[in-house]
Structure 1
Amino acid sequence: MEEEESESKGWKDCVKSVGKWMSHMDKDKWLMDMRGLLCVMATVMATTTFQSATNPPGGVWPTLPITNEESVKDQCRHGVCPGYSVLAVVEQDEYERFLIYNTTCFISSLAVCLLLVSGFPLNHRFFTWLCSIGMCIIITSLTFTYLSAASMNTPDNLWKEKYFMLGIVIFVWIGLLGLVTFVLSLRLFVWIVTKCIDKRKRN
C-alpha cells in the first residue's frame, strides 16, 4: 500500500511539475497580448483569403464588347462567363484544391474572431487551447493555399525543378506544426489531470 501511494504521489508531482514548467510567468499579461495578436492575425487572414476568393490567381475572364443585339448573358458560352476564374476553367482540379484550402483558412479565421469577440474567458485553458489550435489550422491552410496558387501560376518545368525543395520545406513545416500541436495538447492534458487531482483531494 505504501509503495502504491508513493508511486501515485510521484506521478502526481511529476504532472504538476510539467504543468508549472509549461505555464507562463505573467499569465495575465500573456493573455492580453495573445488576445490582441490573435485578433489582428485572424482579421488579416480573413481579409487575405476573402480577397483571394474575389480576385483569384490568374485573373477572371473579361467582358467582351457588347453589341445592341446581345447581353452579358449571351457571352456565357461553353460554361464560361465573364467574371469566372480563368484557372478554374483551365486547371479545375488544382483550383478546386486551392478553393478548399482558401475556404478552410477563411472560415477558421472567422471562427477565431468570433471566439475572441464573444466574451469567452481566455484565462480558461480550454478556450486558450481552442484559439491556438484554430490559429494552427489557419496558418497551415494558408500555407497550402499559397502552394496551390503558386503551382497554378508557375510553369510546369520550373515548378518540377523546385518541387524537391518545396517538399523539404513542407516536411519541416509539418514537423514544426506537429511539435506545436503536441505541446498545446500536452498542456491541455496536464491541466485536465491537475484539475482531476485537485478535485479528488477536496473530496
Structure 2
Amino acid sequence: MIPRSTGKSWFSYFQFNEDRDSPNEARNVLLIIVGLIAAVTFQAGVNPPGGVWQDTGSGHFAGRAIYASQKDAYYVFLVSNTLAFSSSILVLVSLTYRFPFHFEIWVATASMMVTYVSAVFAVTPREQVHFRYVLITAVVPFVTRCLIQMFNWCRRGSG
C-alpha cells in the first residue's frame, strides 16, 4: 500500500529506490520491458498499421504497406518504430552481457535485426522512403551509447 502520510506521490513511490530494490530485480524488470518493446516494434515493422495491399491496382502494389500512401505519417511511424526497436535491442544486449549463451543472444539479436530490416524493405514502397535515414535511425542508439562511454572514459582518465 502506498504510504499516504509521507506526502509522496504514487509516481515517486514506484520509482527505483536503491535502498529497497536490488539491481537484479531492476534488471529483470528492464528485460521484460525491453523484450515487450522489441516484440511489439518488430511486429509493427513486419505488419505495419493498416496492413498491406492484397492486390496491385491504381498506384499501389500487392505486399506494400497501405499506410505508406500517407507518406509523412508513414515516415514518422517508420523512424519512430525503428528507433524504439533499435533502442530496445541495445538495452536487451547490454543487460544480458556476460550471461550464459551471450554469443547466442548476439546471433539471435543480429538475425532479428536483419529480419526486421528486410521486412521493412519488403513492405515499404521504394519511392516513399529514403532508407538511409531509417538505417541511420537504427544506428543512433548504438552510436550514442558508444559516445557516452567514450566521454565517461575520457573524463575518468583526466580526473
Q: Please report the TM-score for the alignment, with normalisation by the length of structure 1.
A: 0.38
Q: Please report the TM-score for the alignment, with normalisation by the length of structure 2.
A: 0.48
Over alpha carbons, which structure has the higher Rg? 1
